[in-house]
């Protein structure tokens, strides 16, 4: 059974701090929040925000998403990276589900130079064969790396041939990552859906760097290298919940959320 995110109204929010994500979301006027459940560069076990633990706190009107640590790389041929990556992915998925999150976002990962991409796909397949997803796991396209599993869309297609049929597996489209990764945004939604059949979440980020740079450096909407009209077109076409992972804290993200709401076509 596939999870869906169909909603009559497009929900827009931001990536916020994990201490009290609900308060941070409300301060931004957000419909949803994304946050970490621990240090994004650590192998330590996930910890639910105290404000959300055991169902505490009023989350009404605010959807929750959790981002897995950046170090997770289940595609890796290296046992010392792949095995702990599988464990921590399940750990964060379990904690995310316990706080009522709608999805766990995880980067596609990479193999190393000299390794066949098929090894990375096989490692992803084994991950989902052994992991019963307690909530949707949304694989995200990434910005850099010549051996990445989800940077170029030919690689994404190869990955999706392996994992696309598993229950609970979805896709998160990051606009900055696609731009920096060398994928044109004008028809990106059409091309992604031709591969995955779905977009479950959009990370709507401008890019500080040029097209194809491989640099994962986000900018506030309209302040970077991506045409604002193209960002709007991507969000409208994807018709999926939106997370702004942009700088500037409450003020910067509030402005980005407001800009999207004011400029998206009425049909969205």
Which domain CATH number covers 253? Answer: 3.20.20.150
* Under 8 Å between Cβ of 102 and 5: yes
Q: Residue 155: is its pLDDT beyond 60?
A: yes
Domain span at 206? 64-263
Mean pLDDT, the chain, as a whole number? Answer: 94
Domain membership of residue 142 (yes or no) is yes
Domain membership of residue 12 (yes or no) is no
Domain membership of residue 28 (yes or no) is no
Domain membership of residue 53 (yes or no) is no
Q: Residue 165: is its pLDDT beyond 50?
A: yes
pTM of this prediction?
0.94
Q: Residue 122: is its pLDDT beyond 80?
A: yes
pLDDT classification of 268: cutoffs 50, 70, 90: very low
Domain membership of residue 30 (yes or no) is no
* Under 8 Å between Cβ of 49 and 20: yes
Domain membership of residue 211 (yes or no) is yes
pLDDT at residue number 107: 98
Structural domains counted in the chain: 1
pLDDT at residue number 266: 72
Checking DSSP bridges between strand 169-174 and strand 137-140, what pairing results, if any? parallel
Most confident stretch, 3-12, 49-58, 231-240: 231-240
Domain membership of residue 83 (yes or no) is yes
Domain membership of residue 32 (yes or no) is no
């Amino acid at each position: 059974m596939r999870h869906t995110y169909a909603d009559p109204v497009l929900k827009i929010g931001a990536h916020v701090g994990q201490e009290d994500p609900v308060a941070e979301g409300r301060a931004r006027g957000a419909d949803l929040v994304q946050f970490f459940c621990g240090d994004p560069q650590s192998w330590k076990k996930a910890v639910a925000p105290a404000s959300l633990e055991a169902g505490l706190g009023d989350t009404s009107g605010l959807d929750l998403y959790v981002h897995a640590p950046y170090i997770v790389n289940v595609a890796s041929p290296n046992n010392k990276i792949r095995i702990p990556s599988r464990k921590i992915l399940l750990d964060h998925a379990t904690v995310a589900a316990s706080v009522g999150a709608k999805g766990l976002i995880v980067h596609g990962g990479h193999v190393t130079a000299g390794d066949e991409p098929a090894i990375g796909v096989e490692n992803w397949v084994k991950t989902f064969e052994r992991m019963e997803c307690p909530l949707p796991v949304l694989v995200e396209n990434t910005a850099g790396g010549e051996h990445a599993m989800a940077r170029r869309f030919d690689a994404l297609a190869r990955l999706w041939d392996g994992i696309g049929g598993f229950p609970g597996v979805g896709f998160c489209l990051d606009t900055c990552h696609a731009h920096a990764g060398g994928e044109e945004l004008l028809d990106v939604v059409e091309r992604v859906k031709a591969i995955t059949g779905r977009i479950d979440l959009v990370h709507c980020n401008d890019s500080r760097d040029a097209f194809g740079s491989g640099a994962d450096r986000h900018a506030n909407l309209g302040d970077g290298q991506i045409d604002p009209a193209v960002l709007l077109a991507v969000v409208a076409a994807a018709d999926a919940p939106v997370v702004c992972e942009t700088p500037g804290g409450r003020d910067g993200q509030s402005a980005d959320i407001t800009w999207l709401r004011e400029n998206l076509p009425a049909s969205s």
